[in-house]
Structure 1
Amino acid sequence: MNKKFLTLSLASLLTASCFAQVKPLIPNKDAIKFSKAINPENAYKHLSILASDEYEGRETGTKGAWMAADYIRDYFKSLGLKGPVDGGYFQKIDLVNLKLKQSQLTVNGQPKEYLKDYLVYPNTISDNGFMFSGDDIVFVGYGLKKDTYNDFAGTNIESKVVLMFANGDPTLKPGERMDRSSVMEMRKQRADYFAQNKVKAIITIDPTIDRLTENFKKNLSDGQVIVKTNSVLEAARQNVIPRISISLALANELLKTQNTTVADLQKKIMDSKTPASMALATPFSASGSKSETPVRCENVLGFLEGTDPILKKEVVVLTGHYDHIGLVKDPNATDKVNNGADDDGSGTTGVLLMAKAFTDAKKAGKGSKRSILFMTVVGEEKGLWGSEWYSEHPVFPIANTIADLNTDMIGRTGEEYLGKPDSANYIYSVGSNMLSSELGKLSEQVNATYTKMKLDYKYDDPKDTEQIYYRSDHYNFAKVGIPIIFYYDGMLEQDYHRPGDEVSKINFPLLTKRAKLTYYTAWELANRPKRPAVDMDGKGNPKK
């Protein structure tokens, strides 16, 4: 564990920076001069367009997102930024819409009803579809294999249909949660174990199927939009085992042969903390296939080449995601647009403001020594798609990328700061020390010199229950060893992913002050003799 969080008293000291204790930099007059482009008036001009009802919430793969991409491209072009993707500004992403072409499922020879008894997601179906049958189902509880608990012990699953609960872990204490990396590792081990045993199919018991809404059914019939990142393609290559989710009623029908129910098994396992795996002799057959249609989707990139013959080969990346969650699904809603003014129209606006400031500086002969890539990414709300795509298909070498500064929600006051004296003078700074102590120190110095905000490090705590560090686009840069800082306002309740996230609620002076902090940090990174050293392990611990 990071020593910063070993004691409560030390953690509390690290909640916020005290810039009076940090040695400031010598203020750069040019940086200050050109920062004037980052102002509330310019911010309002951009955000009032991007977060307007006309843009329909900018959902990835829809007209609203395409309109936003076109707007950002045109603005980058108007500033004189170069299009770095074969002369263009769009980095195309391999996005497709998957639809279920056909499915059937029978138990004891009796057909079951799709979307009532069972569910098959198109993205879990291989390109060749699936078809299987048999009467050898094995119930394996939660599908867990740990030192103290093993659902597979003494159970033969080879070439069988596996039945398991969709979620849960009886080994955890009340309120305890596994961190993201542990969950991912557990899932990988389970998938490997299933593959090694040539499992015929995986059937999960999912109570949500018993209460599917009409909106959900309609959305699923419209298709599943996925991006073909390397991880998705690899998962598709490995995940050739059919996966079907079934209702509680159908699960109880399968368990009837052993005179038990889902509720009885869950109670038995939780009370005893021991597995209750068993074989079920029930004839079962299923088949399914899918169709695939390409969907327009792109990151928008604008490139400002550095002025130093050597340092210009290195790149500072400034990111924000321009997508949001689109239109409200409820047909009875009075406000049908999730405008996403703060999430993340505000961060996207910040990138546009910084692009203006840096291009103004270069036109005046004060261009940065290193190159700067202004990149607004798509698909963040779907699972960090755009940034993951860039990390796998970088336009500029990862080895030459010295840092990513990511602005995602910088326009409002989060719940913890409402009504407090510093409510208009703070920002959550996330991840600045995870990979580079030098970047963390520089961030403090920049703030002490120029913006004098409260830097709150709450979300750097590895015990953060929200796991904020993993939830925005900077993480896909950190994954490949690039130092990052994520700037975030902490708004997780009021209007988050709701129609109320509108331009009228944005604090534009606060938005621009946070954007200036990002800008000044980028200015230092782009002009310093040396790039920030990667001296931390990605979790805030010094490298050994």
Structure 2
Amino acid sequence: MNKKFLTLGVASLLTASSFAQVKPLVPNKDAIRFSKAINPENGFKHLSVLASDEYEGRETGKKGAWMAADYIRNYFKSIGLKGPVNGEYFQKIDLVNLMLKESHVTLNGQVKDYQKDYLVLPNTISDKGFTFSSDEVVFVGYGLKKDNYDDFAGVDIKGKVIMMFSNGDPTLKQGERMDRNAMMKIRKDRADYLAQNNVKAIITIDPNVDRLSEAYKKYLNDGQVMVKTKSMAEAQKQNDVPRISISSALANEILKSTNTTVADLQKKIIDSKTPASQVLNIPFSASATKTETPVRCENVLGFLEGSDPKLKNEVLVLTGHYDHIGLVNDPNAKDKVNNGADDDGSGTTGVLLMAKAFTDAKKAGKGPKRSILFMTVVGEEKGLWGSDWYSEHPVFPVENTIANLNTDMIGRIGEEYLGKPDSANYIYSIGSNMLSSDLGKLSEQVNATYTKMKLDYKYDDPKDTERIYYRSDHYNFAKLGIPIIFYYDGMLQQDYHKPGDEVSKINFPLLAKRAQLTYYTAWELANQAKRPVVDMDGAGHPKK
């Protein structure tokens, strides 16, 4: 599961469900019959391969991820799923490696050192590169225009090189935090204002430049890997304006003629709640270019066509991400592989197990009425890349996609359940009521009928500080208005994104039971008369 927190707020419901309170469905004998393919033994067969040291932590754009993609494709093909991308199983993603080709920064004629005095990130450089020079730098504090505070008042920034702090809001009281939506609005307003004034370049005072780790330097030297999505292309339009991050020491050199420092200015602005914007007369010049190299990267798709001529154009999507975070950067580490057995080898294994159960059913003449797309996505750990790509390049029309069931970490017992009586019989069910009350009810009924697990809705709480609802691939379906359920075990501390997330620690009977819950839910969705209605607003509230 991805570490990053995405935007927006959630709403919802309860803490846990009790199947005793839910009217069950009539058990489907065929569903039960074919569920037997979803068992601990088959789970171990897949996961012991995908999470092996040989697969080197399956980092996106690296050898281990390519090996995993090949394994999944070959398995989909072996059980009879079709390749839905012009007959192929791979949906290729436009992934590139951006590397800094060269860069130069001079202050008052003195050459400065890359990674010591400044940083230029390749993904902020336009395809043409940049070159600029100026005899003055306009300091604009925090670059903030808010209420009665305006860092841009009293200074002319048109066509100028500006310098500002990387983050912060001096108008906030001590301990006060800015609302996420307000922060996003301020950033947009700032970008619009700078664009309107056609600034020549933006210099950011970033304390992170003062303390670059050797691991991060290596990451920069190896290049920045990025997906060229539509949203990324929009962001790239801003790259015509050169952007440079500088250390506090270099900023102090720029400020030297004013007999002040970065720390002094910050204190002055925060204490007085008054901007200290000013023109600094000092020559500054910079240039940079980058190179761009394609990198192999793909989602792996297997398609099972529905059996009902009237319903087979409707598609249910089952997802799990097969990538993880790769090898440990520390050369002295005894265990160098972040195996990602739970995250998300377990969810990927769940998708493979469900694919076998449904293809067995079809071969026996009991295939689902609606079509099912089994999709293991890449790049989740980098920022939900694979599912974002699919959301912008859907293989099947969005309007025909009835729901997404996403399994991301279903193989272990999370911290809250360790030592509890129900530790081996629970799952966090996330988002089932966000867009469709039908899906929420069906989920409860399926569980009451088949698996009788504790469905914990903790992460549907709008006050969830971990913002789990936004941190896995289901979200890129939810943002399109497609009903989703995200199944998750809650492991956030023990071995999370560490080499200790290994196959030996997976509870395979529990993994299989959670995958069966997903499978039974998928069975009902794929065979019921009507698709789940979208009657909620995406935050668990009825549509107006």
Task: State the 1:215 CA deviation.
Answer: 2.4
Per the alignment, residue 63 of structure 2 pairs with: 63
Q: Which digits, 9 at most, give the CA deviation of each residue in 1:197-242, with x for residues without a partner? A: 1111111111121121222222211111111000111111233211
SS of match in other structure, 2:187: helix
Per the alignment, residue 461 of structure 1 pairs with: 461
Question: Is the deviation greater in 447-456 or in 504-513?
Answer: 447-456
| Alignment pair present for 1:222 and 2:222 | yes
The 8 Å contact of residues 469 and 475 in structure 2, kept in 1 or not, is answered as yes
In 2, the alpha carbon distance for the partners of 1:270 and 1:90 equals: 53
The 8 Å contact of residues 402 and 483 in structure 1, kept in 2 or not, is answered as yes
| Alignment pair present for 1:398 and 2:420 | no
Per the alignment, residue 194 of structure 2 pairs with: 194
Per the alignment, residue 5 of structure 2 pairs with: none
In 1, the alpha carbon distance for the partners of 2:125 and 2:71 equals: 36
In 1, the alpha carbon distance for the partners of 2:426 and 2:319 equals: 20
Per the alignment, residue 320 of structure 2 pairs with: 320
Question: Is the deviation greater in 489-498 or in 208-217?
Answer: 208-217
Q: Percent identity?
A: 81
In 1, the alpha carbon distance for the partners of 2:358 and 2:415 equals: 33
The 8 Å contact of residues 297 and 378 in structure 2, kept in 1 or not, is answered as yes
The 8 Å contact of residues 325 and 497 in structure 1, kept in 2 or not, is answered as yes
In 1, the alpha carbon distance for the partners of 2:139 and 2:115 equals: 22
In 1, the alpha carbon distance for the partners of 2:215 and 2:238 equals: 32
Per the alignment, residue 350 of structure 1 pairs with: 350
In 2, the alpha carbon distance for the partners of 1:412 and 1:176 equals: 37
Query: Which residue identity lines up with residue 120 of structure 1 in the other structure?
Result: V
CA change 1:377–1:186 in 2 (3 A) is farther
SS of match in other structure, 1:495: coil
CA change 1:173–1:457 in 2 (3 A) is farther
Task: State the 1:194 CA deviation.
Answer: 1.4
Query: Which residue identity lines up with residue 161 of structure 2 in the other structure?
Result: V
Mind listing any 5+ residue stretches in structure 2 that lack a counterpart? 1-7
Question: Is the deviation greater in 120-129 or in 192-201?
Answer: 192-201
Write out aligned runs for 1:124-523 (5 A): 124-172=124-172, 177-178=177-178, 181-523=181-523
SS of match in other structure, 1:404: strand
Mind listing any 5+ residue stretches in structure 1 that lack a counterpart? 6-10
Query: Which residue identity lines up with residue 530 of structure 1 in the other structure?
Result: K
CA change 1:150–1:528 in 2 (3 A) is farther
Task: State the 1:281 CA deviation.
Answer: 2.0
The 8 Å contact of residues 73 and 300 in structure 1, kept in 2 or not, is answered as yes
In 1, the alpha carbon distance for the partners of 2:356 and 2:501 equals: 26
SS of match in other structure, 2:32: helix
Write out aligned runs for 1:67-86 (5 A): 67-86=67-86
The 8 Å contact of residues 478 and 484 in structure 2, kept in 1 or not, is answered as yes
Task: State the 1:346 CA deviation.
Answer: 0.6
In 2, the alpha carbon distance for the partners of 1:48 and 1:175 equals: 47
SS of match in other structure, 2:225: strand
Task: State the 1:152 CA deviation.
Answer: 2.7
In 2, the alpha carbon distance for the partners of 1:256 and 1:432 equals: 58
Q: Which digits, 9 at most, give the CA deviation of each residue in 1:285-324, with x for residues without a partner? A: 1100000111100000000000110110010000010000
The 8 Å contact of residues 10 and 460 in structure 2, kept in 1 or not, is answered as no
Per the alignment, residue 8 of structure 1 pairs with: none
Query: Which residue identity lines up with residue 336 of structure 2 in the other structure?
Result: K
Task: State the 1:278 CA deviation.
Answer: 2.6
The 8 Å contact of residues 120 and 243 in structure 1, kept in 2 or not, is answered as yes
SS of match in other structure, 1:529: coil
The 8 Å contact of residues 138 and 278 in structure 1, kept in 2 or not, is answered as yes
CA change 1:76–1:130 in 2 (3 A) is same
TM-score, structure 1 normalization: 0.95
CA change 1:272–1:531 in 2 (3 A) is farther
In 2, the alpha carbon distance for the partners of 1:183 and 1:406 equals: 30
Larger RCO, structures 1/2 (Cα 8 Å, 6+ apart) = 2
In 2, the alpha carbon distance for the partners of 1:214 and 1:3 equals: 38
In 2, the alpha carbon distance for the partners of 1:127 and 1:152 equals: 30
In 1, the alpha carbon distance for the partners of 2:411 and 2:294 equals: 34
The 8 Å contact of residues 402 and 531 in structure 1, kept in 2 or not, is answered as yes
Question: Is the deviation greater in 174-183 or in 518-527?
Answer: 174-183
SS of match in other structure, 1:42: helix
In 2, the alpha carbon distance for the partners of 1:233 and 1:301 equals: 25
Question: Is the deviation greater in 71-80 or in 511-520?
Answer: 511-520
The 8 Å contact of residues 2 and 541 in structure 1, kept in 2 or not, is answered as no
Query: Which residue identity lines up with residue 233 of structure 1 in the other structure?
Result: A
In 1, the alpha carbon distance for the partners of 2:267 and 2:350 equals: 51
Question: Is the deviation greater in 136-145 or in 445-454?
Answer: 136-145
Q: Which digits, 9 at most, give the CA deviation of each residue in 1:18-70, with x for residues without a partner? A: 22222222211111111111111110100000000000000000110000000
The 8 Å contact of residues 141 and 275 in structure 1, kept in 2 or not, is answered as yes
Write out aligned runs for 1:519-538 (5 A): 519-538=519-538
Query: Which residue identity lines up with residue 503 of structure 1 in the other structure?
Result: V
TM-score, structure 2 normalization: 0.95
Query: Which residue identity lines up with residue 263 of structure 1 in the other structure?
Result: A
In 1, the alpha carbon distance for the partners of 2:44 and 2:23 equals: 34
Task: State the 1:172 CA deviation.
Answer: 4.5
Question: Is the deviation greater in 323-332 or in 207-216?
Answer: 207-216
In 2, the alpha carbon distance for the partners of 1:396 and 1:476 equals: 15
SS of match in other structure, 1:313: coil
Query: Which residue identity lines up with residue 511 of structure 2 in the other structure?
Result: L
In 2, the alpha carbon distance for the partners of 1:423 and 1:179 equals: 36
In 1, the alpha carbon distance for the partners of 2:176 and 2:401 equals: 37
Query: Which residue identity lines up with residue 58 of structure 1 in the other structure?
Result: R
The 8 Å contact of residues 205 and 247 in structure 1, kept in 2 or not, is answered as yes
The 8 Å contact of residues 117 and 249 in structure 2, kept in 1 or not, is answered as yes
Task: State the 1:334 CA deviation.
Answer: 0.5
SS of match in other structure, 1:399: helix
In 2, the alpha carbon distance for the partners of 1:4 and 1:116 equals: 45
Query: Which residue identity lines up with residue 55 of structure 1 in the other structure?
Result: Y
In 1, the alpha carbon distance for the partners of 2:172 and 2:516 equals: 44
SS of match in other structure, 1:80: coil
The 8 Å contact of residues 319 and 406 in structure 1, kept in 2 or not, is answered as yes
Per the alignment, residue 97 of structure 1 pairs with: 97
Query: Which residue identity lines up with residue 305 of structure 2 in the other structure?
Result: E
In 2, the alpha carbon distance for the partners of 1:491 and 1:182 equals: 31
The 8 Å contact of residues 2 and 540 in structure 1, kept in 2 or not, is answered as no
| Alignment pair present for 1:52 and 2:16 | no
In 1, the alpha carbon distance for the partners of 2:203 and 2:425 equals: 51
SS of match in other structure, 1:511: helix
